[in-house]
Every structure is written in structure tokens, then in C-alpha cells.
Amino acid sequence: MADDAGMNDDDSAADAPLELAMTELEQRERYFLLTSVVVPRPIAWVSTLDADGVRNLAPYSYFNACSATPPIVHFTSTTSRDSLANIRATGEFVVNVVSEDLAPAMRVSSAALYSGEDEFEVAGLQTVPSRTVAPPRVAGAKVALECRLRQELEMGEGTMVFGDVLHIHVERSVWRDGRVDPTLLRPVGRLSAPYFATVSEVYSLDLPEDVKQRASDYTIRGGPSGPTGST
């Protein structure tokens, strides 16, 4: 991106903040700008099967959870990759969480191989049968979410795929105090271009007591404790 791309004339002073008009940037410039500021992005490493049982594996960094009750996750595909076609054909997929030790294999699986080529084989990965869906999970993935297609939503240049989470596989090595410990999981997030980050340092930020007393709602609602919530 040119240093002055999308800038107004009165914003050209060397020490002035950049004011970037997105409509004035080229598509590639917009992509690299947006993906360099929305960071780190969790990665959905999606395994699927086509109607004939041919397996596919691809990572997507437009990914997140959007509901806990019912449990729903979504990822966005911005290209015509096999994952989307397979999910449309079968209604099922698995989101494998990428830990630091699996990052090199994940990167290999991101290559645009010919349709029908086996990313598991190319990346040197083994599979493990899932419990509730036909697509396998990645052997070695410490967390995997088995999903059933709920809905597709066209949004800009992408297709958002929403899935109901039917079952979650968790390795005991990352389980602590009733939940997954990110310092044990060491998940990998996407930055910009070829750069990634690993969650290795975690800290807690609690509300000051005076703010807690003034807050009208300091509970997590909709969880196991019911609609009244829990702290």
C-alpha cells in the first residue's frame, strides 16, 4: 500500500495519524489493512467430507463463537474452496483448534491444492473418527468441535457458515479447573500476511470493587446456572 493511499490532503504531515478512506483503497490494500488490525484472529481448522467420502482440511481465520446457548460457531469462506461445497453437500464439519505444535501442518493445509487432493496426507496428518458427525478430526488436535450446519449467510465477499456445536473433544492435558486452560492449549492466531501468534502469556483483569458495586449486571447469563447467571 502506498504511504499516502486513501489519505486526505490535510493529513499529510509526517507526525499526523493516518486517516484512511477504505473506499479509496484497492481490494488488496483493504485486505491487508483490515487483517493487520483485527488481530489476533482465532483459526478454524475445518475438516469435511464430500458426498463420496473424500476428506478435506483447510484453515479459516474469520472465525468465532456467537452463542453458548445453543452453542454456535461460525467461520467465513471468501473463496470457492472445497470446505463450503462439502458442508453444503453433507451438512457437517469439524473445527479443529490449532495448537502451536500443529501450526506447521496447518500452514501446509492452507495451500490451494487441486480439488480432491488430500490435505491430511500432504500435511502428514492422521485422523481420528468423530463421535457425532462423519468428518474426522485431526489426530493431535487438543480441542475439536463437531458441528452441524445451521445456516449460511452471504456477507460482502464472503459466505458465513454457522454451525451448531454437537460435541467437543478435549484432551485432558489442556483441562484445568473445569475448562480449557489457554496456557496449556497454546492456540495459534492469525495476524497479517504470513505471520501468526501463539497464546503464551495470560493475565487477569478484574473490575475495581467500586465499579462492581455500581454495575447493574456483573454476571454471565445463559450458562449452566440458568438465566439469572453466575459470576
- Write the CB contacts of 44 (distance below 8 Å, at least 6 apart in sequence): 59, 60, 61, 63, 73, 75, 95
Mean pLDDT, the chain, whole residue set: 90
Domain range annotation of the chain: 21-201
Written as one string, the DSSP assignment of 195-222 is -EEE-------PPPHHHHHH-S--SB-S
Percent of the chain with pLDDT over 90: 76
Q: Which residue stretches of 112-224 are H helix?
A: 119-122, 182-185, 209-214
Residue 125 has pLDDT above 50, yes or no: yes
State mean pLDDT over 65-71: 97
The architecture (CATH level 2) of 21-201 comes to Roll (2.30)
pLDDT band at residue 8 under the 50/70/90 scheme: low
